[in-house]
Structure 1
């Protein structure tokens, strides 16, 4: 289960490097600009005036109603009201924070991209260091594997030392956020009614059964009995399907070896060719024109009935609901492993997707901390998950479906830790400068496009790796 203690990380025989941050150093937010802005004016604008009120910003419209529900409960318990405001999309949110740092108009609390915006805002001095505020009792409410997320690790401190880093100024051990929502990639969504019409009533346990189900569904519905994915971003096929499938097929060491500079074990090897041939089995079942669809477009197409399957992440669920899809008409499951896999049960390591940060200019910091801690209480987090169709960072026990329903529960049950679980956030085995999109574009030519075969794709991937490793 996800709550199990994280196993020790084995040392791989291949060269390693620090994990890349979730938001690149080239982010549009400039620490220098934010630092210059923090001198600000005396105008408190949208910021709370202390006392019995707080303001909170989020970049996720799907979280507003759920946060408002939590705010109502918080006010009943504490007498402090919380005003929730959504600022979307993400780039507008970032621009608003930068502008508001200049005008003294920041909210008390912000929902931020974890291990990215929180560190950028912390480096700029616009959110508080929470290190001394997080008690053992508070930290103990989070699931163990993500309980420290929001803390500047040695790897992130090293990144802050690089020229031009937007993390410049952070110190190792500082903490600028606490987990708010978690999730992962590699989740398959299926239209339950269409599956039932084709005689399928449960999720496939193996890759082979998944392919057989795809064949059955397409035979029953040739026009829309297909699978969708946002291939306009070419990394999706690699990151959301190929990598978790290959990880479970080969196990951690042999999977990581696929990204080494040794053609005897990397994508040019027998293992690489095998993984590519397995992946290519999807080619006949892709939604027509899938290579032209962005991620949101593929999700909307599924919601509109243009495909029967969709590959996304845990975060896809709320977007489907926003676009009118009945989320009770779903079967969800992680990308299943092939028969004979080293890890025959698919497990995915949860990532902290968003966190909560407290503005350093809040006029009511004690109430802000109380609000943030309130949101981490298991009963509050569970209700938020149900309301927002998003996954909470707290331990949901052995039967999460009993608390949050079968769809969210199935996703939580796919979470794991240690070497049994694929962790898309761990990129330490990849060469410096590695670009998922460039590598994924090679895979797109194999599937869905069908313009190359598996041996050609294997050689092209190995050639790209040669170039990456020579530049490391």
Structure 2
């Protein structure tokens, strides 16, 4: 894996960001293979996304069909893959040196590596409508003042919880501190309720706990320093693992969670949606996947931010998360960017009405009607710091080690100290 300069592998913060405002210029070149305009002015391009669950499963093809109906000279060849399958296939494709014309990205170190390899189109000069989007939605895709992807969703990770199951356990309000959270886990278990649903097999949902605990114990500056020094062996990171082990030792997860997927039948989302667990730590897409994989909890579903940790320096207003965007391969036809403009600007209301996405267009937050998503949107607006998913913020090998090591801690195979050392070793080797 190619090494990325630490200064460019930085963690992201809300402050000091400005929206782009540049003249609309000629977009990406279209003379490369794949997506090349055919005879008679017809254009075909590939579009890879992760819309395998509702609402995207139905909505994305609907938007694509509307675009091609209005532009009969354009054909879009769509490939929709489940999250992990997508990442595996894109990694293999990246290694071959050629990406799809339009592809899903979460930004951060993974996109940075693709940019450094010369595989991704610089959209800055063609992206004149970037000024219509919120700065926070753009930042994961910006490096060195240039923009390399178009966002369509942005949000944060937090706890989605079943109000009815909380009431059954005698819990009257969501926990504000980690100590209160652990006590609520004990109350839920005592009431015969599985406290937490977790997709142990897929690993990435587990890394949310360690990342948030590191933020709450050590604070964002410590994370930024670790990203630069490539050293995660500090006391704050070890303590994050120790706090996670406190939770794991309570055995809070559903039976056979280590073999459970996220959106699969009987997996994390279905367990939550079917009322078989009281909580899941998940992003803004959580409710829609719960509904797709299980059932709609409706008014019984609530949301609360990740608790603070007693003695920690991190603030509850520092949030962890990210969104979804689409990047273009180097040489993709200009019509691909036209499609993204249609997808984001002309269909923002549809995206929000589906209750699966949060706004990236300025002023569109007023269109969010779901109570839980309103809490997420409000938390994001009030955020004093923002941390991108660790498995995306870092180059792929480092992000994978975070996922793997935290999964090993949850499975009882690694100590908090071993997790910190393993991530440090991966960072220094990157």
Q: State the TM-score, normalizing by the size of structure 1.
A: 0.63
What's the counterpart of residue 288 of structure 2? Answer: 318
Shift of residue 113, structure 1, vs aligned partner: 1.9
Alignment of 1:299-448 (within 5 A): 299-328=269-298, 329-355=300-326, 357=328, 362=333, 365=334, 369-377=337-345, 380-387=347-354, 389-395=356-362, 400=365, 403-415=368-380, 420-425=385-390, 435-445=401-411
- 2:105 aligns with one of 108, 113, 116: 113
If you compute each CA radius of gyration, which structure gives the higher value, 1 or 2? Answer: 1
Which string of whole-angstrom CA distances, capped at 9 and with x for unpartnered residues, describes residues 40-66 of structure 1?
698959x9937xx99966441332433
Decide whether aligned partners of structure 1 residues 266 and 390 sit closer, same or farther in structure 2, where only a CA change above 3 A counts: same
What's the counterpart of residue 21 of structure 2? Answer: none
Distance 1:381 1:58 in 2: 17
What's the counterpart of residue 196 of structure 2? Answer: 227
Decide whether aligned partners of structure 1 residues 49 and 259 sit closer, same or farther in structure 2, where only a CA change above 3 A counts: closer
Q: Which structure 1 segments of 5+ residues have no match?
A: 1-14, 22-36, 155-171
What's the counterpart of residue 59 of structure 2? Answer: 66
Distance 2:303 2:136 in 1: 23
Aligned: 1:294 with 2:261: yes
Count of aligned residue pairs for this structure pair: 389
Shift of residue 407, structure 1, vs aligned partner: 1.8
Task: Say which SS state the counterpart of residue 408 (structure 1) adopts.
Answer: helix
> Do the aligned residues in 1 keep the contact of 2:179 with 2:310 (CA within 8 Å)?
yes
Which string of whole-angstrom CA distances, capped at 9 and with x for unpartnered residues, describes residues 217-250 of structure 1?
2222x2x43212122344643x201221231233
> Do the aligned residues in 2 keep the contact of 1:180 with 1:356 (CA within 8 Å)?
no
Decide whether aligned partners of structure 1 residues 228 and 258 sit closer, same or farther in structure 2, where only a CA change above 3 A counts: farther
> Do the aligned residues in 2 keep the contact of 1:204 with 1:210 (CA within 8 Å)?
yes
Structure with the largest fraction of helix: 2
What's the counterpart of residue 179 of structure 1? Answer: 151
Q: Which structure 2 segments of 5+ residues have no match?
A: 12-30
Q: State the TM-score, normalizing by the size of structure 2.
A: 0.69
Distance 1:429 1:91 in 2: 13
Which string of whole-angstrom CA distances, capped at 9 and with x for unpartnered residues, describes residues 393-445 of structure 1?
23457xx4762421222222332698644443585799979821443245225
What's the counterpart of residue 216 of structure 1? Answer: 187
> Do the aligned residues in 2 keep the contact of 1:187 with 1:334 (CA within 8 Å)?
yes
Distance 1:470 1:148 in 2: 25
Which string of whole-angstrom CA distances, capped at 9 and with x for unpartnered residues, describes residues 351-393 of structure 1?
342226499565xx56x6554334433x842431231512232
Aligned: 1:19 with 2:9: yes
What's the counterpart of residue 6 of structure 1? Answer: none
What's the counterpart of residue 79 of structure 2? Answer: 87
> Do the aligned residues in 1 keep the contact of 2:158 with 2:304 (CA within 8 Å)?
yes
> Do the aligned residues in 2 keep the contact of 1:401 with 1:410 (CA within 8 Å)?
no
- Output the aligned Cα RMSD: 5.0
